[in-house]
Structure 1
């Protein structure tokens, strides 16, 4: 599996022309990691933008995610085939289980086993999970082995640092992808972030992204504005000091944005 590019383009909540424009602009600016999901209802548009971009397939890293309704027997592989059809691709680079089965109605071993089979069939180059707790990760590792799990994609930003989960992932050698790395803009209003940004001649968004990147996470911010897309990509060049990192670490307050009623019992 190729390494997950550190900065990706998230497409959550983007529909129709908005997602086509965002992906097209992102690819023009140099993004090569595009993140979508079955539930976003935009795989076809993402695929359209990729096809129109002229970027070679082997230069791209495309992620999609299996929705909870497709975790039942036989549906994991069938639904991934439908996703590939919508995306206009023969294979995605990474396919994630989007959320653990609500109330654990379906065992982790069952749907991850099917996802591993999808990898064997060449439908995805790598597999992983999203929104998995430590308990779910333990089950996943027992089911398919640690080496098979390319990442756990979870909400992480300065206001929700998910430290217990991250510590467990590090112990296990598991990669982490931070989604909602700006907490829908909430992070940008933090005086500490604004002060650090001013000191570096950077934007608050770049500071928040650099904070995640320096901890080894991949990040998948989304935007529809060209200047923000460009600035987010440039966050990789920003180096924060130990003092900066410590000041941001102190912002932790367990402020979770993504918490649907079917979410697992968080760590």
Structure 2
């Protein structure tokens, strides 16, 4: 069992390592810059001049502390936007890529069901999910220690743990696109476009009469600044994201079971 998941997971390992190392280097750079930047200016005075919509979009609370600085400069960008788009993009090719190259015909000729194929392919995304969330807390801990700052590692670990439901939800959007479209490039563009559009909607409609639309966005339920700065853990939001992921995967599985790929 799980041969498909293991095979696809091994193929993703190199890319996951490259992505994680790139984000780790970016993290190390931000941490190293923090002392000199805070000495040069009061960052909170600067962010108070930002438009309210921008502060809301990136969850900006403060940047004068290492927690607030990393939440704003690293997690709100690299984790919420870049990784969210990455998982949507990666999931969008899981089925569509094999259908387009006709590899899916060979896979389905084996004694496996379509449900098993889809679920195991989705499970292969655990590789980048685990690699990224295992490496970055170590970099944050070592980096802050090196510059003489203290950071609550419990909150850092919580920020990464609670990012897992968020990233899975983004991947769930991608897997739906992957079974709807037969060309990987189209599925990827649609999935990335939807996730990014949701980010914009969540940011734009906040504190307006249309704020309820933001509830449809996965990023509405994951706020790294609240975790790192306020030590506030939205467990209900994490549960909603996990439930949404299950629904998206089940919908994609049912669509794939009925789909004609001949």
TM-score, length basis structure 1: 0.25
- More strand by proportion, 1 or 2? 1
- More helix by proportion, 1 or 2? 2
TM-score, length basis structure 2: 0.26
